[in-house]
Chain A
Amino acid sequence: MSSDTHFTDFKSDKQPTWCPGCGDFGTMNGMMKALAETGNDPDNTFVVAGIGCSGKIGTYMHSYALHGVHGRALPVGTGVKLANPDLEVMVAGGDGDGYSIGVGHFIHAVRRNIDITYVVMDNRIYGLTKGQASPTSRQGFETSTSPDGTVEPPVNPQALALAAGGTFIAQSFSSDSQRHTELVKQAIEHDGFGFVNVYSPCVTFNDVDTYDYFRDAIVNLDETDHDPTNYQSARDKIMDPSTEHIGILYQNEESVPFSDREGIDANMADIPDGAPERADRLVREFY
């Protein structure tokens, strides 16, 4: 890792095709800054992206990256990190990717406490397919597939994470660049699964969860007496989904990542030219 990495080193020469004003610009900028400010560079960073507008981030950032199938970015990130613990692994996706098709993987990745960072660009809408309800859309939200308003209440991602034993649970807002960058940095530095849900407004298809709405509604946890290491306080904040908090909702300072529990620390890419020493004993076991 070099200390003189600038966040623009993480920028590819591909111009984003996100709509002008899309929250994903700010979300991505914060991720790049956080990576640079935590001493990473593109050669030791692996970005895994899902499907949707958010999934394009692997193309717009410069690093080792895989743009995978819909909803399965977290298992890919898990495999990358366990195989080579020296890599900084950043998984990015949207609310549909993470909380709908991929919600099973989300819960299990949280539970495993893999030492990776997961940034969800939550715009509460399916953007790339042109405006259908997402799992975080408000109940009653009218879309092309819910003309009379959605019937289901939205999922509460932080509550899912807390229930699954999450060790770092945060919420940020894409246009609050400094705070967003800081939260992603803290997620990277956290020993375990660093989860940051980002309010990342869709300016084209979501006319409810807009920049103006969030600016009005947001409550900055730093300006409250909330202590993120206090589980009770975290639970109270998380189970109050009517308030749009930003900040670290919960952090378990005792967190032990999966690899430490399993004793995984080697780069699995390093293997000998032939069968490993002591492989003979595997045959003898069958006597």
Chain B
Amino acid sequence: MVNDLNWAIGGEAGDGIDSTGKIFARALSRAGRHVFTSKDFASRIRGGYTAYKVRTAVERVESVVDRLDILIALTERTIDENLDELQEGSVIIYDGEQTTMADVEVPDGMIGLEVPLNSLAEEAGGAIMRNVVALGAASEVADFPVEYLDEALVKRFGEKGEAIIANNREAARLGRDYVREETDCSHEFALETTDEDYVLLNGDEAIGMAAIAAGCRFYAGYPITPATDVMEYLTGRIEAFGGAVVQAEDELSAINMALGAARAGARAMTATSGPGIDLMNETFGLVATSETPLVIANVMRSGPSTGMPTKQEQGDLNAMLYGGHGEIPRFVLAPTTIGECFDRTVEAFNLAEKYQIPVYLTADLALAVTEQTYSPERFDMEGVEIDRGKVVEGDEVGEWLDEKGRFKAHAATEDGVSPRALPGTPDAAHMTTGLEHDELGRRTEEEDVRVEQVQKRQRKVDTARDREAFDYREFGDSDAETLVISWGSNEGAMREALGMLDDRGIDVRFLSVPYIYPRPDLTDEVEAAEDVIVVECNATGQFADLIEHDTLSRVQRVTKYTGVRFKADELADEIEGAIAGERAPQEVKR
């Protein structure tokens, strides 16, 4: 019996694909099963092709694989789009009564399961419930008790009243009964349930939740895929904690509003994606040189320009590290799992205030918009620590006044971090500016002061390196000759690939790096290895460049820029090929 199931529902945008998939994912989660989801979606409101995919197992799952066991196809194109993943024995559920689906040809070896979704939905109370009928049918195929859908249906339709919920429950049961009674679908799935208690969330939601936990009270943003979920999460929640969300007129305004709130003393953030980062670069330098603590979440999508807005890429690393004219330090954190989005977000707010510096918190699309199950204890609110850095008030202000009683907001201290007086603090009124400034925050072009301030700002990085643990996480065989390094969401697929490589007799040491700047020095690790392979979702290998720069060695690059995240089995093949020296420049699979 197969207990590790890959399931999908696909159709056109506007067909309710996303919410249907989420109902199933949540039902599995409530049944004590682990879930990992992914989405194929397009930047359009209606039409096209969109799919929501669920991988579920009793054990933790960390990635997607190249296999689909059950597919609910609302359109013929859904089948075509998934031919690579469908295989012998895969079950395709479709409504043969629909004229658009009447001529569907089920590929050889696969099981076509015709279910009159529309008719059954009408029987339950309305054609709008056809997706729920399909959920019931798919649950029966997977031998998953349809009762687990009930709670998820309440969560989805709770606001619409008892009658709607009852109709949907009925629709699910009609789908189940149809498969049970009217078809002879023999299958080998049996989804075991457990007593485990899981929550299901995506990276954007983890970032939003962590922001509230970390004391963020002000968010300004402009809607942009795939970062909008952060804003939507905070809206309606942050207010209960005394905060506010402002939808700005553009990204230029969003970052300036967040900057203003941060200067007023609030923990503030904005979130955006590539095109928004370009606009925010204008003010980024001001944030950095005025030494204002600010968290900027960049949920990366495929670029350049408008690029592929709903597709995966890790192409903004250089833009975050080097964006903006002139030279100014900034921190760049890149969580590698949905769970870690929580930890690094809390850390980003602390780092921003401790070092009075802008912090880029970057998640790639694959991390941001896909859901994964976790134990609720994973998100430990008791463990959240807040460090506001060198905020001064009362008598402390006196220590930082010059001989004329003026507050030195940019005092050139030994550790590079200046005292911070929040507006309203008596006797500490001061200005700051995007012009080069002296310790008082007032314009200067004096050479000595310029050099002092540049060095002072740079010194904050050295201080942070001393005080913080910017470390990597290690997996696999620590003595292996092959070293794989990656950043961002590739960690999950790579961890699964380790197991596959192990089965092939290939030992690999794997380092997953969540800190881009400052980052751990990997010189020793690289020198100890025979083959060094850097895995990332971009064309040129931007992180590989950094590793080469740091370690003065050459590395191999496994890159992918098709717009689709790495799958575990694909990555295992790529690593094996790279070790054998067979890896050609990337071929795009069709």
Q: Interface on A for B, CB 8 Å cutoff?
A: 13-14, 42-48, 58-59, 62-69, 72, 75-84, 86-87, 104-105, 107-108, 262-264, 266-276, 278-280, 282-284, 286-287
Contacts and interface: CB of A to CB of B under 8 A. Distances in A.
Interface in B175-234: 197-201, 205, 209, 212-215, 217-218, 220
Contacts of B423: 43-44, 46, 64, 80, 84, 87
A79 B261 contact: yes
Contacts of B201: 286
Interface string B46-82: 0000000000000000000000000000000000000
B396 interface: no
B153 to A, nearest CB: 14
Given A108-B253, A275-B213, A276-B212, A82 B261 contact: yes
Minimum-distance CB pairs A-B, first 10: A79-B260, A269-B265, A75-B256, A286-B199, A271-B215, A268-B266, A65-B431, A67-B433, A268-B217, A83-B261
Given A64-B431, A80-B423, A268 B218 contact: yes
Contacts of B426: 43
B399 interface: no
B265 A84 contact: yes
A69 B288 CA distance: 12
Given A43-B428, A279-B381, A75 B253 contact: yes
Given A64-B423, A266-B242, A79 B215 contact: no
Nearest to A67: B433
Contacts of A43: 423-429
A77 B264 CA distance: 10
* A82, A84, A268 pick with most chain B CB within 10 angstroms: A268
B162 to A, nearest CB: 21
Given A59-B431, A79-B220, A276-B215, A268 B261 contact: yes
B236 to A, nearest CB: 11
B101 interface: no
Interface of B: 29-30, 197-201, 205, 209, 212-215, 217-218, 220, 237, 239-244, 246, 248-250, 252-254, 256-268, 282-283, 286, 290, 376, 379, 381-382, 384-386, 404, 422-435, 442-443
A161 B501 CA distance: 66
A125 B567 CA distance: 59
B257 A59 contact: no
Given A65-B432, A79-B218, A84-B266, A48 B260 contact: yes
A87 B384 contact: no
Nearest to A287: B199
Nearest to A76: B260
A72 B267 contact: no
Nearest to B375: A283
B144 to A, nearest CB: 18
Nearest to A70: B282
Given A43-B427, A105-B253, A283-B379, A276 B241 contact: yes
Contacts of A104: 249-250, 253
Contacts of A46: 263-264, 423
B209 A283 contact: yes
A13 B404 contact: yes
B135 to A, nearest CB: 19
Given A72-B256, A83-B268, A274 B244 contact: no
28 contacts: A43-B427, A43-B428, A46-B263, A58-B433, A59-B433, A59-B443, A62-B429, A65-B431, A66-B259, A66-B431, A72-B253, A75-B252, A76-B259, A76-B263, A78-B257, A79-B220, A84-B424, A105-B252, A108-B248, A108-B253, A263-B239, A268-B265, A272-B215, A273-B386, A279-B213, A282-B212, A287-B30, A287-B200
A87 B209 CA distance: 28
A68 to B, nearest CB: 6
Nearest to A85: B264
A84 B239 CA distance: 15
Contacts of A105: 249, 252-253, 256
A82 to B, nearest CB: 6
Given A82-B261, A268-B266, A284-B376, 7 more contacts: A43-B429, A67-B433, A80-B261, A276-B213, A282-B237, A283-B199, A286-B376
Contacts of A75: 220, 248, 252-254, 256-257, 260
A112 B559 CA distance: 46
Contacts of B433: 58-59, 66-68
A118 B275 CA distance: 30
A82 B199 contact: no
B376 to A, nearest CB: 5
B422 A79 contact: no
Contact of B257 (A65, A79, A275, A282): A79
B210 to A, nearest CB: 9
Nearest to B384: A275
A66 B249 contact: no
Contact of B431 (A13, A67, A69, A287): A67
A272 B216 CA distance: 11
A79 B197 CA distance: 40
A80 B264 CA distance: 5
B215 A69 contact: no
B100 to A, nearest CB: 36
A82 B244 contact: yes
Given A66-B263, A83-B260, A268-B261, A286 B428 contact: no
Contacts of A48: 260
A18 to B, nearest CB: 14
Contacts of A69: 256, 282-283, 286, 434
A264 B244 contact: yes
A178 to B, nearest CB: 27
A107 B218 CA distance: 22
Contacts of A262: 239, 244
